[in-house]
A and B are shown apart, each in its own frame.
Chain A
Amino acid sequence: MTQTVPPAAGPSGRAPRDPAPRPPRAHRSLDDRIIGGVAGGLARHLGLEAVPVRVAFVVLALFGGLGVVLYAGLWMVLPLAGHLEQEAPGLEAASRQGKRQPRARRLHDVGPLVAIGAVVLGLAFLGSDLVGGSILFWPLVLAVAGIGVLWWQADEAQRERWTDPGGSIDLVRAVVGGGGLSSWARLAAGLALLVLALVLFAVQTGGVGVAREVLLAGLLGVLGLGLLVGPWLVRLTGDLSEEREARIRTQERADVAAHLHDSVLQTLALIQKHAEDGRMVATLARAQERDLRSWLYGDPGHPETSLAAALKASAAEVEDAHGVPVEVVTVGDAPVTEQLRPVVLAAREAMVNAAKHAGADKVDVFAETEERRTEVFVRDRGRGFNPDAVAEDRLGVRNSIVDRMRRHGGTAVVRSTPGEGTEVRLTLEHAPSAPPADQNHLTDPQHPADPQHAEEESAR
């Protein structure tokens, strides 16, 4: 119920990817819904918890049904959340082809629904007592409930269409969705409630005979309307789904063609040119794989705004320059502040060293950002060295990694065993006043002005 959080407050204080986000638009929530997802979506939009919003709707409903009317109005106007959400092309394609598990429905939250239902029912009884048993009251309640259920049903069908793996719309699916028995049951319940309302009204106004006639007339009317509009509706939905499929296919083809043209073809050309150089081919293939992977399965973010993206970008450069795969695993993320930049540079230096000198067949990088500190580990299983007898060329390492970290208030520990490999551990405690997400313009109080910084930038 309380899953709604402002989008920026992820569990690890992740920075939003888009530096200039679009103005936020309210929409109905697919996940956080009890009836139509209006309250859930509204709560997310306003940055509130869902419960108070729901309560507000119920309370407003007491004032002459204002809440109900508002809810219904918003239900009609607000678009579905799934509509706006976009995933990486590879994931979207996999979803469309039904290769991924559909998202779990939240069926366990029936409690609140029952509670709200009870309150509404209670109010209805109260209302009927106050009004004094008006003839119109119960038929009206039943009719409203029936229409509501039918409406809910239609909406469910709409939801199904967004997630339908085949991408086709057929008439039955358009009305009842893919939900099987429960959708049919809802449809039947809605119709039954409507008919019951009709009958009740007729009985209360003029006896059983009139009721039968009214019912018959109603049914005939519906049948006639169906005969008139039905074929047209069938053709319309057919056209609609055909047109939609064609449009999607064209878009996909254009996207894929553009991407293949841009990168894969060029890489293939390069590979042909260097066919006899195995190492070069492996490097090219690896770079292309990385590129395709990030295109298909999601953009890692911008190196300026995300530590994880900055480390991945450094790893990519090292891979390309030295032909050794660098695997980056990150936990949590933070913006790359003045305080964090030295960590990225030192980590890059450590990756270069591992790729250049260790002779390992891969390098593992692990970065963990917590509220209080950031740690980066760069590890290889290469030849290693004896840290006590540092060779002359390793002095550069000492300067660029250990000293850099120390200058900026962090630590670097190099652990190496000859024959087993090397691990460089970089640690930086964050300034205690603020969590990493808020440190955009914060400089370390111990190092207010940093004369080294410009020099280091150019040393990259």
Chain B
Amino acid sequence: MSHAPTTQRRVVVVDDHAMFRSGVKAEIAAQVDVVGEAEDVDTAVEAVLRLRPDVVLLDVHLPGGGGGEVMRRVSGKAPETRFLALSVSDAAEDVIGTIRSGARGYVTKTITGPELVAAISRVAEGDAVFSPRLAGFVLDAFAGSIAVAQVDEDLDRLTEREREVMRLIARGYAYKEVASELFISIKTVETHVSSVLRKLQLSSRHELTRWASDRRLL
């Protein structure tokens, strides 16, 4: 892992729309080093394994099984590479599914160039990137409506502090603003967010899956 902030982040852009790829490249090329692109699961897996980028910008919907499939196939083979999901889809099931497959964050395609660059370096440093929408999905998924008796594992619920952080992010607060609102350091905010990410990825609570399937009916 090359964490020196002076070197540019090496990024691979994966999206099945060529126009979107070139748009993203044009927006971020000044701040990061776009070393490759791919248009479907096979080419993405090949590019990631060959180029070993710091960050992969990964579309959620991708020919060949979706972004999750890419992460499943490279899992363990490129441990230094981190994935940031980038999507136009607002379907909660897909977003949560991608995070659970291993993405370190989720942003929508309407994100501005500077914000995307910031998100890339955050992910490259091993932190998680939660957009307001993702924070909303997470709060919904871990909604407080579960009886305490059913919650038996630490993984299955958010701490009060983590919920506070999630709610502030959902309200549109940046990490820095969350930190000053709660009188904690940015580093602590990052720790909380990473811990929520870990719970989201590892929790086997069936309410999570049930929540996802309920969403499909709404």
Find out whether the CB atom of A94 lies under 8 angstroms from the CB atom of B61.
Answer: yes
Find out whether the CB atom of A327 lies under 8 angstroms from the CB atom of B172.
Answer: yes
From DSSP, what is the main secondary structure of chain A's interface residues? loop
Q: Does B91 contact A (CB under 8 A)?
A: yes
Find out whether the CB atom of A301 lies under 8 angstroms from the CB atom of B218.
Answer: yes
Find out whether the CB atom of A423 lies under 8 angstroms from the CB atom of B213.
Answer: no
A140 surroundings in chain B (CB, below 8 A): none
Chain B: interface size category? 35 or more
Residues A1-24 near B (CB distance < 8 A): 2-3, 5, 7, 10-14, 17
Find out whether the CB atom of A3 lies under 8 angstroms from the CB atom of B94.
Answer: no
Q: How far is the CB of A269 from chain B (nearest CB, A)?
A: 22
Find out whether the CB atom of A12 lies under 8 angstroms from the CB atom of B210.
Answer: no
Bound CA–CA A330/B139 (angstroms): 9
B133 surroundings in chain A (CB, below 8 A): 327, 329
Bound CA–CA A265/B135 (angstroms): 35
Find out whether the CB atom of A332 lies under 8 angstroms from the CB atom of B140.
Answer: yes
With beta carbons under 8 angstroms apart, the residue of A17, A331, A364, A377 that contacts B140 is A331
Find out whether the CB atom of B65 lies under 8 angstroms from the CB atom of A98.
Answer: yes
A379 surroundings in chain B (CB, below 8 A): 171-173
Bound CA–CA A50/B136 (angstroms): 31
Q: Which chain A residue lies CB-closest to B108?
A: A327
A100 surroundings in chain B (CB, below 8 A): 60-61, 65-66, 94
Q: Does A456 contact B (CB under 8 A)?
A: no
Q: How far is the CB of B32 from chain A (nearest CB, A)?
A: 23
With beta carbons under 8 angstroms apart, the residue of A13, A297, A368, A423 that contacts B167 is A368
Residues A68-103 near B (CB distance < 8 A): 85, 87-88, 90-91, 94, 97-102
Q: Does A370 contact B (CB under 8 A)?
A: yes
Q: Quick one: given A13-B145, A98-B63, A327-B132, are A364 and B91 in contact (CB under 8 Å)?
A: no
A331 surroundings in chain B (CB, below 8 A): 136, 139-140, 143, 170
Q: Quick one: given A7-B217, A331-B170, A332-B143, are A99 and B91 in contact (CB under 8 Å)?
A: no
Q: Quick one: given A31-B213, A100-B94, A331-B136, are A11 and B89 in contact (CB under 8 Å)?
A: no
Find out whether the CB atom of A377 lies under 8 angstroms from the CB atom of B171.
Answer: yes
Bound CA–CA A124/B140 (angstroms): 48
Q: Does A371 contact B (CB under 8 A)?
A: yes
Find out whether the CB atom of B207 lies under 8 angstroms from the CB atom of A11.
Answer: yes
A7 surroundings in chain B (CB, below 8 A): 214, 217
Q: Does B88 contact A (CB under 8 A)?
A: yes
Q: Which chain A residue lies CB-closest to B90?
A: A297
Q: Does A138 contact B (CB under 8 A)?
A: no
With beta carbons under 8 angstroms apart, the residue of B97, B136, B217 that contacts A101 is B97
A91 surroundings in chain B (CB, below 8 A): 89, 91, 94
With beta carbons under 8 angstroms apart, the residue of A31, A87, A99, A381 that contacts B63 is A99
Q: Does B105 contact A (CB under 8 A)?
A: no
Find out whether the CB atom of A297 lies under 8 angstroms from the CB atom of B89.
Answer: yes
Q: Does B144 contact A (CB under 8 A)?
A: yes
Bound CA–CA A7/B132 (angstroms): 27
Q: Quick one: given A329-B170, A331-B140, are A297 and B91 in contact (CB under 8 Å)?
A: yes
Query: Hey, what's the 0/1 contact readout for B27-46 against A, CB within 8 Å counting as 1?
Result: 00000000000000000000
Q: How far is the CB of B95 from chain A (nearest CB, A)?
A: 11
B207 surroundings in chain A (CB, below 8 A): 11
Q: Count of A-B contacts with CB under 8 A?
A: 110
Find out whether the CB atom of B61 lies under 8 angstroms from the CB atom of A366.
Answer: no
A104 surroundings in chain B (CB, below 8 A): 209
Q: How far is the CB of A34 from chain B (nearest CB, A)?
A: 16
A11 surroundings in chain B (CB, below 8 A): 140, 143, 145-146, 207, 210-211, 214
Q: Which chain A residue lies CB-closest to B16?
A: A99
Find out whether the CB atom of A5 lies under 8 angstroms from the CB atom of B210.
Answer: yes
Find out whether the CB atom of A293 lies under 8 angstroms from the CB atom of B91.
Answer: no
Bound CA–CA A98/B143 (angstroms): 31
Q: Does A298 contact B (CB under 8 A)?
A: yes
Find out whether the CB atom of B143 lies under 8 angstroms from the CB atom of A12.
Answer: yes
Q: How far is the CB of B73 from chain A (nearest CB, A)?
A: 12
Q: Quick one: given A331-B143, A371-B145, are A99 and B171 in contact (CB under 8 Å)?
A: no
Q: Does B50 contact A (CB under 8 A)?
A: no
Bound CA–CA A85/B93 (angstroms): 15
A102 surroundings in chain B (CB, below 8 A): 65
A90 surroundings in chain B (CB, below 8 A): 89
Q: How far is the CB of A70 from chain B (nearest CB, A)?
A: 27
With beta carbons under 8 angstroms apart, the residue of B62, B139, B173, B217 that contacts A99 is B62
Find out whether the CB atom of B172 lies under 8 angstroms from the CB atom of A364.
Answer: yes
Q: How far is the CB of B64 from chain A (nearest CB, A)?
A: 6
Q: Does B216 contact A (CB under 8 A)?
A: yes
Find out whether the CB atom of A293 lies under 8 angstroms from the CB atom of B88.
Answer: yes
A97 surroundings in chain B (CB, below 8 A): 63
Bound CA–CA A102/B93 (angstroms): 11
B88 surroundings in chain A (CB, below 8 A): 293
Q: How far is the CB of B97 from chain A (nearest CB, A)?
A: 6
B16 surroundings in chain A (CB, below 8 A): 99
30 CB < 8 A contacts A-B:
A2-B206, A5-B210, A11-B143, A11-B145, A11-B207, A12-B140, A12-B145, A17-B218, A91-B89, A91-B94, A97-B63, A99-B61, A99-B64, A99-B65, A100-B60, A100-B61, A100-B65, A100-B94, A101-B68, A101-B94, A102-B65, A293-B88, A298-B91, A327-B132, A331-B140, A364-B171, A366-B132, A366-B167, A368-B139, A370-B144
In the A-B complex, list the 3 residue pairs whose CB atoms are closest, starting with the nearest: A364-B172, A329-B136, A99-B61
Q: A98-B66, A371-B145 provided; 18 other pairs, C-beta below 8 A?
A: A11-B146, A85-B217, A91-B91, A98-B63, A99-B61, A99-B63, A99-B66, A101-B68, A101-B69, A104-B209, A297-B91, A327-B133, A329-B135, A331-B136, A332-B140, A366-B132, A370-B145, A377-B171
